[in-house]
Amino acid sequence: MRFDVLTLFPEMITPVIQVSILKRAQEKGLATIRVHPLRDYTTDKHRVTDDSPYGGGAGMVLKPEPIFAAIDAIRAESECRALPARARGVGASEDPSPCVTARAPTDRKDDVLRVLLASPQGRVFDQKWAEEMSQERRRLVLVCGRYEGVDERVKVGLDAEEFSIGDYVLTGGELPALVVLDSVVRLIPGVLGDPDSPCQESFNDDLLEHPHYTRPFIFRGMAVPEILLSGDHGQIARWRRQQALWSTFRKRPDLFQKLMRMERITRGDEELLDEVNIQNDKNELGERGKLHESDD
Ligand code: SAM
108-139 pLDDT, tens digit each: 557 899 999 999 999 999 999 999 999 999 99
pLDDT tens across 172-225, in order? 999 999 999 999 999 999 999 877 777 778 898 899 999 999 999 999 999 999
User: For residue 59, how far is its CA from the centre of ligand 1 (angstroms)?
Assistant: 13
| Annotation: CATH topology of 2-185 | Alpha/beta knot (3.40.1280)
91 phi and psi, to 5 degrees?
A: 90, -15
Q: Considering only 88-102, 156-170, 277-291, which range has the smallest mean pLDDT?
A: 88-102
140 phi and psi, to 5 degrees?
A: -95, 120
Domain 204-295 has CATH 1.10.240.10: no
The pLDDT, as a whole number, for residue 280 is: 82
User: For residue 158, how far is its CA from the centre of ligand 1 (angstroms)?
Assistant: 18
Nearest alpha carbon to residue 122 among 149, 161, 153, 176: 161
Contact between 140 and 187 (Cβ < 8 Å): no
Cα 230 to chain center, whole Å?
Answer: 36
Domain boundaries, the chain: 2-185, 204-295
Rounded distance between C-alpha atoms, residue 4 and residue 179, angstroms: 14
pLDDT tier at 227, thresholds 50, 70, 90: very high
Burial class (CB in 10 A: 0-12, 13-18, 19+), 137: exposed
pLDDT tens across 18-36, in order? 999 999 999 999 999 999 9
Q: What is the mean pLDDT of the chain?
A: 90
Helix (H, G, I), strand (E, B) or coil at 155: helix
Q: Which protein residue's CA is at the shortest distance from atom 19 of ligand 1?
A: 170
Ligand 1 close to Cβ of residue 119 (< 6 A): yes
Ligand 1 close to Cβ of residue 6 (< 6 A): no
The pLDDT, as a whole number, for residue 102 is: 38
Angle subtended at Cα 179 by Cα 120 and Cα 64, rounded to the nearest 5 degrees: 50
With a cut of 60, say whether residue 233 has pLDDT above it: yes
User: For residue 62, how far is its CA from the centre of ligand 1 (angstroms)?
Assistant: 12
